[in-house]
C-alpha cells in the first residue's frame, strides 16, 4: 500500500500543522495526511499553562489554523486516530482500527507525554497533569472550586501553574526535590530569582523534599505525604515532573532512538524516508556539535519547516539557537541559547535581580552560551548574536548597562 506521492505526518500537533503548511507553501502538490490521537485540531501548548489557563486567551486563539484551512489546502486531517505500528520496509503505518496508510515520506511529530509520579495514590481523582487542552480546562475548573492545591515539581509547568493558581486566589504549596526551583535548568545563581518570585507572591515553596504518597479520601486526593512524615493538605494535586518523548513507534520500527528519535541536522532519522521534529526529535545541532532534544515551543514552530523542505529534497539544516519563554505573575522572561548543567563557569548579570529587570548571561571561557532577559525586551537578537559568534567577550562590559549589547563583540578577545 505504499504511496509514491503521499507525505504522511504522524502527530497532529503544532509541529505537524507547521510541516503540512510548509509542504504546501513549497509547492508540494501530492497527498498530505496529518494524523492525530486527539480530537482537537492542531493547537499551541504554551497558552495551556499561561494565557488560556489564566482565562486571558480565548480557546479559538490557541489553534494553529482555522478549521477550514485543512480542506482549503487539501490536507487530509484525521483526528482521534492512533497509529499503532510503523513498517519502514513497506512504507506504511497501521492505525488502531486496523487500516493502513502508505507513504513516500514520513514525518514523526508525536511530541511527548507527562512523566507519571511513581508513588502510592498517584492514580487518585484530583491528581492532575498538564499536557492537553482538556487538562488545562480541568485545572482551570479546579481553581474555581479549590481553596488549596499542591504542585509537585518546580519546573516551568509547575511554576506557571502555581502562578495561575495564585492569580485565581488559591493557596499553593510547591514541592520540589532539588534545593531550588529550576536548579538543573538555570543553575543556583538564577534559580533563586524564581524562588523569591513565588514566595513573594504567597507560595509555600518547599525544596529538598521527597514525596512518599498522595493521600486520599473516598477515591479523591486530599494531600501529599512527604518522606519526612509531614503532610500537606490539598483539594487537588498538580504534578509537573518532566516529560518523556513519544518515541515508541520509532523504537518498535528499529529506528535509532536515544532520548527521542535521533535525527541529523536535516532532521532525517536513521531511515532515509523518515523524519522527526519537535519534542520527540533528538537532533544534531551544527553550532553545538552534538545532538540535543529541546522541549519548547520555538522548536515546534521552526523545526517542521526544515523537515518539510528536506522531505522535498531541499538541502536545508536546522541550526537555530534554542529559545523559550515564560510568564509568571509580573515577570516575563525569554531565554536564548543552550547550557547543559555544569557546563558554564560564570554567570554575569546586567541589571538588577532585586527589581527583576535584568539579563543573565551564562559563560564558559568568556564565551556566551546563553542569555536570559527578564522584564527587558527587544534584546533577543543581540543575545543570539553573542551566542552564535562563539567569541569571548569582556565580562565587565557585559554587565555594564551603559555598554550597548550590539557593541560587545567589538573587543572579542578581552575576557575581563
User: What does residue 133 show for φ and ψ, rounded to 5 degrees?
Assistant: -65, -35
By the 8 A CB rule, do 258 and 264 touch?
Answer: no
Rg, C-alpha atoms of the chain: 23
pTM metric for this prediction = 0.95
Q: How confident is the model over 4-30, as pLDDT tens digits?
A: 789 999 999 999 999 999 999 999 999
Per-residue pLDDT of the chain (416 residues; tens, 9 = 90+): 445 789 999 999 999 999 999 999 999 999 999 999 999 999 999 999 999 999 999 999 999 999 999 999 999 999 999 999 999 999 999 999 999 999 999 999 999 999 999 999 999 999 999 999 999 999 999 999 999 999 999 999 999 999 999 999 999 999 999 999 999 999 999 999 999 999 999 999 999 999 999 999 999 999 999 999 999 999 999 999 999 999 999 999 999 999 999 999 999 999 999 999 999 999 999 999 999 999 999 999 999 999 999 999 999 999 999 999 999 999 999 999 999 888 999 999 999 999 999 999 999 999 999 999 999 999 999 999 999 999 999 999 999 999 999 888 865 444 33
By the 8 A CB rule, do 154 and 207 touch?
Answer: yes
386-401: b (≥16 Cβ within 10 Å) or e: bbeeeebbbbebbbee
By the 8 A CB rule, do 52 and 136 touch?
Answer: yes
Q: How far apart are CA 207 and CA 153, in angstroms?
A: 9
Amino acid at each position: 500500500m505504499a504511496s509514491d506521492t503521499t507525505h504522511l505526518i504522524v502527530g497532529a500537533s503544532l509541529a505537524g500543522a507547521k510541516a503540512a503548511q510548509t509542504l504546501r507553501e513549497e509547492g508540494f502538490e501530492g497527498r498530505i495526511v496529518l494524523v492525530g490521537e486527539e480530537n482537537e485540531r492542531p493547537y499551541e501548548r504554551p497558552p495551556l499553562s499561561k494565557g488560556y489557563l489564566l482565562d486571558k486567551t480565548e480557546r479559538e486563539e490557541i489553534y494553529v489554523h482555522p478549521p477550514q484551512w485543512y480542506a482549503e489546502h487539501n490536507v487530509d486531517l484525521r483526528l482521534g486516530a492512533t497509529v499503532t505500528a510503523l513498517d519502514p520496509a513497506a512504507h506504511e503505518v497501521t492505525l488502531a482500527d486496523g487500516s493502513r496508510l502508505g507513504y513516500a515520506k514520513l514525518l514523526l511529530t508525536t511530541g511527548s507525554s507527562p512523566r507519571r509520579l511513581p508513588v502510592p495514590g498517584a492514580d487518585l481523582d484530583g491528581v492532575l497533569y498538564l499536557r492537553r487542552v482538556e487538562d488545562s480546562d480541568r485545572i482551570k475548573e479546579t481553581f474555581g472550586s479549590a481553596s488549596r492545591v499542591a504542585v509537585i515539581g518546580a519546573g516551568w509547568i509547575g511554576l506557571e501553574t502555581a502562578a495561575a493558581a495564585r492569580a485565581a486566589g488559591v493557596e499553593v504549596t510547591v514541592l520540589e526535590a532539588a534545593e531550588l526551583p529550576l536548579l538543573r535548568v538555570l543553575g543556583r545563581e538564577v534559580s533563586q530569582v524564581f524562588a523569591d518570585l513565588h514566595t513573594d507572591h504567597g507560595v509555600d515553596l518547599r525544596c529538598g523534599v521527597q514525596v512518599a504518597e498522595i493521600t486520599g479520601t473516598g477515591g479523591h486526593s486530599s494531600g501529599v505525604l512527604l518522606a519526612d512524615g509531614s503532610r500537606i493538605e490539598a483539594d487537588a494535586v498538580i504534578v509537573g515532573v518532566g516529560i518523556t518523548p513519544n518515541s515508541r513507534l520509532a523504537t518498535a520500527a528499529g529506528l535509532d532512538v536515544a532520548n527521542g528519535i535521533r535525527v541529523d541536522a536535516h532532521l532525517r532519522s536513521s531511515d532515509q524516508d523518515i523524519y522527526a521534529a519537535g519534542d520527540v526529535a533528538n537532533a544534531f545541532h551544527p553550532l553545538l556539535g552534538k545532538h540535543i532534544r529541546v522541549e519548547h515551543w520555538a522548536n515546534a514552530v521552526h523545526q517542521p519547516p526544515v523537515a518539510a523542505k528536506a522531505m522535498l529534497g531541499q538541502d536545508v539544516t536546522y541550526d537555530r539557537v534554542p529559545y523559550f519563554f515564560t510568564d509568571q505573575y509580573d515577570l516575563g522572561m525569554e531565554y536564548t541559547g543552550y547550557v547543559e548543567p555544569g557546563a558554564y563557569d560564570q554567570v554575569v548579570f546586567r541589571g538588577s535581580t532585586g527589581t527583576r529587570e535584568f539579563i543573565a548571561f551564562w559563560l564558559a571561557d568568556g564565551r556566551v552560551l546563553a542569555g536570559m532577559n527578564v522584564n527587558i525586551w527587544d534584546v533577543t537578537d543581540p543575545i543570539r548574536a553573542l551566542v552564535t559568534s562563539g567569541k569571548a567577550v569582556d565580562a565587565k562590559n557585559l554587565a555594564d548597562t551603559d555598554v550597548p549589547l550590539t557593541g560587545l563583540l567589538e573587543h572579542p578577545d578581552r575576557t575581563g
